[in-house]
């Protein structure tokens, strides 16, 4: 009887892509996949090692899975992902419960690692993080949404970021392989494709020095049945006029931009090795809104970077008041071993970081509410993702909200299938979420005005 394997995925959606690929390879080898670790003979923990809280969560999960070896039918515990790429020696020395390690450049060897671990070996495959995704297909999705990784790694060299240590430099996939993967997803029922990379806007630069994201989007435009394309992690310095024009004229690319700004103050940005100053970003945001008037702009911010003062925080508060971004994720700085920021002076106490981060969140809350209120009374397309039995409504998302990180819509009156994109009249808007009513009389073809 074949062994049962469970994959526990932590961290970002890029890790989920890797887990999907591992699932495909594991099934090809003849193992049986299960969603329940308690039923598995082998558990693979795909870890995140990006910030302290993610590392702690990864270690806690490994230890929780290790307890299954003592009390259940679990035979082998295998760990992969970013934590392994950075801390393989520590994991080997301090966690004897682990039966195998696989780095970010070797995860396609997961079937042989499972086999070796079941044979009581302790396989370790942690080479350079240089894997490319050209030849792997993964059209397995129960969701109407799929994430497609178009590049891996990053060349930007931000002083706070350990991604190059864990994932290597920028490596872009050929357009043809991305188009084929998207076609397979669409054929399996996927309606929304989220394009992801550590630096999406630099896609193609490593191939011949040119930015190829506009070319990729034009190729995806030809795929029949693909409804929405969403862009994640667009580095502001590489956001070209050509890309904005392609987005604005596309029938598929949603009016949503994820621009990780990190801060507004020029002194902090220079220390972070981020090229854009607040004045440049103001101009960029104004240009984006001229080209796409109804665009939703999301950013992420880091509070408590070494040397940050109250003056810098006030600058950021003023900046947020002026530009009125739609969605803002706020994080506190954490030391990442091997990054230049660790060696900087004037580190900010953790309690101060937390207080500043919460102040930014509270400042942004009414701004987001005001931006959301613009949709009240409008009929917009909403992708229906699940049924909430307690509330008695379906739950979906507008084009202006990304899966997992942004708000949702409670949709009344809808009795159709999950995964459909349907017209919904927004009746209420809150800090993050919406309430709406299914409006079958509205034609989706008329909803381009929502863009």
**Tokens 């981060």 sit on residue:** 357
Q: Is 360 helix (H, G, I), strand (E, B) or coil?
A: helix
Question: Between vectors from CA 450 to CA 446 and to CA 451, what angle results, nearest 5°?
Answer: 110
Comparison of pLDDT for 374 and 19, the residue scoring more:
374
pLDDT per residue as tens digits for the range 141-176: 578 999 999 998 888 889 998 888 878 889 899 999
Assess whether pLDDT exceeds 50 at residue 451.
no
Assess whether pLDDT exceeds 80 at residue 134.
no
- This prediction's pTM: 0.85
Q: Residue 33: beta bridge partners? A: 5
Rounded Cα distance between 122 and 116, Å, is: 7
Nearest to 85 by CA among 201, 188, 199, 165: 165
Contacts for 119-126 with beta carbons within 8 Å, 24 or more apart?
Answer: 122/98, 124/88, 124/92, 124/100, 125/101, 126/84, 126/85, 126/88, 126/101, 126/102
443 falls in which pLDDT band (50, 70, 90)?
Answer: low
Give me the CATH topology for the region 4-125: Rossmann fold (3.40.50)
Q: Is 41 helix (H, G, I), strand (E, B) or coil?
A: coil
Count Cα atoms within 13 angstroms, Cβ side, for 83: 28
> 266: buried, middle or exposed (CB in 10 Å: 19+, 13-18, 0-12)?
middle
Q: Parse the chain into domains and list their residue ranges.
A: 4-125, 132-258, 379-450
pLDDT per residue as tens digits for the range 193-214: 999 999 999 999 999 999 999 9
Rounded Cα distance between 446 and 220, Å, is: 22
Annotated binding site: 12, 48, 82, 154, 158, 161
Res 401: pLDDT: 97
- Tell me whether strands 379-388 and 393-397 are parallel, antiparallel or unpaired: antiparallel
Q: What spatial distance separates the first Cα and last Cα of the chain, rounded to whole Å?
A: 53
Count Cα atoms within 13 angstroms, Cβ side, for 172: 21
Rounded Cα distance between 150 and 229, Å, is: 13
- Choose the weakest-confidence range: 116-120, 273-277, 415-419: 273-277
Domain 132-258 has CATH 3.30.750.210: yes
Task: Select the CATH number that applies to the domain covering 379-450 from these four: 3.40.50.720, 2.40.37.10, 3.30.160.270, 2.40.50.140.
Answer: 2.40.50.140
Res 445: pLDDT: 43
pLDDT per residue as tens digits for the range 237-272: 888 999 999 999 999 999 999 999 999 999 999 999
Annotated binding site for [4Fe-4S] cluster: 12, 48, 82, 154, 158, 161
Rounded Cα distance between 324 and 296, Å, is: 10
Assess whether pLDDT exceeds 70 at residue 448.
no
């Amino acid at each position: 009887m074949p062994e049962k394997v469970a994959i526990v995925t932590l961290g970002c959606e890029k890790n989920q892509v890797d887990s999907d690929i591992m699932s495909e390879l594991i099934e090809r080898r003849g193992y049986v996949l299960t969603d329940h670790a308690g039923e598995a003979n082998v558990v693979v923990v795909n870890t995140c090692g990006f910030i302290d809280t993610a590392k702690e969560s990864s270690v806690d999960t490994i230890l929780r899975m290790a307890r299954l070896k003592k009390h259940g039918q679990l035979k082998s515990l295998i760990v992969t992902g970013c934590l392994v790429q950075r801390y393989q020696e520590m994991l080997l020395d301090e966690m004897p419960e682990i039966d195998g390690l696989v780095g970010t450049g070797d995860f396609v060897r997961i079937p042989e690692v499972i086999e070796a671990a079941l044979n009581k070996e302790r396989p370790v495959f942690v080479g350079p993080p240089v894997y490319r995704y050209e030849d792997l297909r993964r059209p397995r999705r129960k969701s109407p949404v799929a994430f497609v990784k178009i590049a891996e790694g990053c060349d930007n060299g931000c002083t706070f970021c350990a991604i190059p240590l864990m994932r290597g430099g920028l490596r872009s996939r050929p357009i043809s392989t991305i188009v084929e993967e998207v076609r397979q997803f669409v054929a399996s029922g996927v309606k929304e494709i989220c394009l992801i990379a550590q630096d999406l806007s630099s896609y193609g630069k490593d191939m011949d020095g040119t930015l190829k994201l506009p070319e990729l989007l034009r190729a995806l435009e030809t795929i029949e049945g693909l409804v929405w394309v969403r862009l994640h992690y667009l580095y502001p310095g590489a956001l070209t006029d050509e890309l904005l024009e392609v987005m604005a004229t596309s029938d598929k690319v949603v009016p949503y931009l994820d621009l990780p700004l990190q801060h507004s103050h020029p002194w902090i940005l220079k220390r972070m090795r981020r090229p854009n100053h607040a004045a440049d970003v103001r101009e960029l945001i104004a240009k984006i809104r001229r080209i796409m008037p109804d665009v939703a702009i999301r950013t992420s911010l880091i509070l408590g970077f070494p040397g940050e003062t109250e003056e810098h925080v006030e600058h950021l508060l003023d900046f947020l008041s002026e530009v009125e971004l739609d969605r803002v994720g706020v994080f506190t700085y954490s030391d990442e071993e091997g990054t230049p920021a660790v060696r900087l002076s004037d580190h900010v106490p953790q309690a101060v970081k937390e207080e500043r981060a919460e102040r930014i969140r509270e400042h942004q809350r009414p701004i987001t509410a005001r931006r959301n209120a613009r949709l009240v009374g409008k009929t917009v397309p909403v992708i229906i993702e699940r049924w909430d039995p307690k509330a008695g409504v379906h739950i979906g998302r507008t084009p202006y909200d990304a899966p997992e990180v942004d708000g949702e819509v409670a949709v009344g009156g809808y009795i159709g299938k999950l995964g459909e994109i349907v017209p919904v009249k927004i009746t209420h808007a809150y800090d993050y979420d919406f309430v709406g009513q299914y409006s079958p009389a509205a034609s989706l073809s008329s909803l381009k005005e929502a863009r």
